[in-house]
Amino acid sequence: MVDYEIEKEAAARASLAFVKDGDVVGLGTGSTAAYFIKFLGEKVKAGFKVRGVPTSARAQQLAQQCGIPLVGLDEVAQIDVDVDGADEFDPQLCLIKGGGGALLREKIVASASKKFVVVADSSKQVAALGKFPLPVEVIPFAEALVARQISALGAKVALRKTEQGSPFTTDEHHHILDCSFEKINHPASLAATLSAIPGVVEHGLFINMATLVLVAKGSKVTELRAL
Ligand code: 5RP
């Protein structure tokens, strides 16, 4: 059985090589990014100077616990490097993100970053995106309407719920529709179609954004660049 925790940890550790002393660093969300935040915190305790821009309330809390100084997007002109996980990545390094519900802030931080380093275990590498249900962040007022429009594109659409059964609410107070397409043949055209639906705030397709992916297989980490 593959130990994905070892892989997440290895990929996160390898990403430290892309962070320089003095950098402003995007801090991703999810279990792989959490390893990165912990490792970065250890370096900060040893004297490394960085300032972090968290991509979620969870990442912010963890970074504070790890002693990483934080800044807001309004306080920096640009982010030097953003390190974040992914739910899937394809050979072009297009991603599905948002499994942890933070896709909106994650996309904003990635788009403001000079380098976007994705850290992933081997289960995230796919030939084509779409097995993982694509998260789409929506304004609650419009969610039924948006769900019907995305269903008409061929997806099975489910409103994300908490364990208690109420709608999952994002940091920006929106809801998430998890959209199972099974196979997304043209990620860029689906991304444009989704962005054009009124009520869609953001979707979890990250196209031409990743600078590189660090994918771990066992404890071996491979650096992938887009084909
Ligand atoms: C959160 C994300 C995560 O990066 C993605 O879900 C991967 O998470 P994990 O590292 O826990 O597998 O997009 O919104």
Write out the two tokens for 161.
Answer: 């719920």
Q: How many CB atoms lie within 10 A of CB 145?
A: 14
Amino acid at residue number 200: V
Mean local confidence (pLDDT), 120-142 = 98
Domain that holds residue 27: 4-123+207-216
Among the options 106, 137, 143, 202, which is catalytic? Answer: 106
In a domain, 180, yes or no: yes
Measure the CA–CA gap between 206 and 227, rounded to whole angstroms: 16
Contacts of 139 (CB under 8 A, 6+ apart): 174, 175, 199, 201
Question: pLDDT of 47-62, one tens digit each?
Answer: 999 999 999 999 999 9
The pLDDT score that the predictor gives to residue 27 is: 98
Question: How many structural domains comprise the chain?
Answer: 2
Question: What's the confidence (pLDDT) of residue 38?
Answer: 98
CATH assignment of the domain containing 38: 3.40.50.1360
Over range 80-109, report the average pLDDT: 98
Q: What is the pLDDT of residues 96-122, one digit of tens each?
A: 999 999 999 999 999 999 999 999 999
Mean pLDDT over all residues of the chain? 97
In the block, residue with structure tokens 């070892």 = 6
pLDDT-based confidence at 67, cuts 50/70/90?
A: very high
What global pTM score does this model have? 0.97
* Nearest-atom index, ligand 1, CA of 85: 4
Q: How far, in Å, from the CA of 110 to the mean position of ligand 1?
A: 14
> 87 and 186 in one domain?
no
7 assigned to active site? no
Tell me, yes or no, whether 90 and 8 share the same domain.
yes
Residues 103, 138 within the same domain: no
27, 52 contact by CB (below 8 A) = yes
What's the confidence (pLDDT) of residue 60? 98
Instruction: Summarize the confidence of residues 67-83 as an average pLDDT.
Output: 96
Same domain membership, residue 143 and residue 76:
no
Both 103 and 173 in one domain: the answer is: no
Could you identify the atom of ligand 1 that is nearest to the CA of residue 101? 14
- Report the alpha-carbon distance of residue 33 to residue 11 in Å, rounded: 9
